[in-house]
Amino acid sequence: MTFPPATQTALQDAAELFRKAERVVVLTGAGISTPSGIPDFRSEGSGLWSRDEPMEVASLSTFRTAPERFFRWFRPLASQIFYARPNSAHEALAEYEHAGHPKTILTQNIDGLHQKAGSDHVVFKLARDTALELARALIALAEDGSAGA
């Protein structure tokens, strides 16, 4: 793949930072899994919420009062997640970890693709977590390698 010179330089600089870092924490969200066929929530036209109103299909209230509606919405998504395979980004992160580079993946994804790719140091944090909670997790990782979760 060919990149413009400025992009190539930025990629080389980022790669050098990764190589030299004592600890690396990778933050991922839905975008890393969309190439694996799992839709994100907010993308225009393809996101889950562009087709459905979240509070009408995916809320705890709907689950309690109209479970058939919740499961009618959730079954296709669960099937996509179950059959999804890790893509090259998931595999690259797992390879980086297995090459002996200490790192942790902090994700909000429920798809398990990081683990399917072979990553062992995956910390799951829901999107509802506050920035302060995320900062605490990152500090705990920096201090002793644990996420405290």
Q: What is the pLDDT of residues 67-113, one digit of tens each?
A: 999 999 989 989 999 999 999 999 999 998 898 876 789 898 889 99
| Structural domain boundaries, residue 93 | 1-36+86-149
One domain, residues 53 and 17: no
Statement to judge: residues 96 and 120 lie in one domain: yes
Residues 6+ apart with CB under 8 A from 102: 22, 23, 24, 145
Residue 102 and residue 125 in one domain: yes
Q: What is the largest CA-CA distance in the chain?
A: 56
Q: Is residue 129 scored above 60 in pLDDT?
A: no
Kindly state whether residues 72 and 55 are assigned to the same domain. Answer: yes
Q: Does residue 97 share a domain with residue 65?
A: no
Indicate if 28 and 70 belong to the same structural domain.
no
Burial category of 25 from C-beta neighbours within 10 Å (exposed 0-12, middle 13-18, buried 19 and up)? middle
Q: Is the pLDDT of residue 6 over 60?
A: yes
Are residues 66 and 108 located together in one domain of the fold?
no
Q: What is the pLDDT of residues 109-128, one digit of tens each?
A: 889 999 999 999 998 876 55
Q: Is pLDDT at 12 greater than 80 in this prediction?
A: yes
Q: What is the CATH number of the domain that holds 112?
A: 3.40.50.1220
Using CA atoms, how far residue 77 sits from 21, 56, 74, in Å, is 37, 16, 5
Average pLDDT, the chain: 85
Contact, 105 vs 129, CB < 8 A? no
Judgement on whether residues 70 and 96 belong to the same structural domain of the protein: no
Using the predicted structure, report yes or no on whether residue 145 has a pLDDT greater than 70.
no
User: Does the pTM exceed 0.85?
Assistant: no
**Which of 27, 62, 83 represents a domain boundary (last residue)?**
83
Question: In terms of domains, do 65 and 130 share one?
Answer: no
For residue 25, pLDDT over 60 is answered with yes
Reading the block at residue 140, the tokens are 């705990």
Count of domains for the chain: 2
Do 111 and 135 belong to one domain?
Answer: yes
Residues 119 and 148 in one domain: yes
pLDDT band at 19 (very low <50, low <70, confident <90, very high): confident
Average pLDDT over residues 7-35: 90
Q: Same structural domain for residues 106 and 140?
A: yes
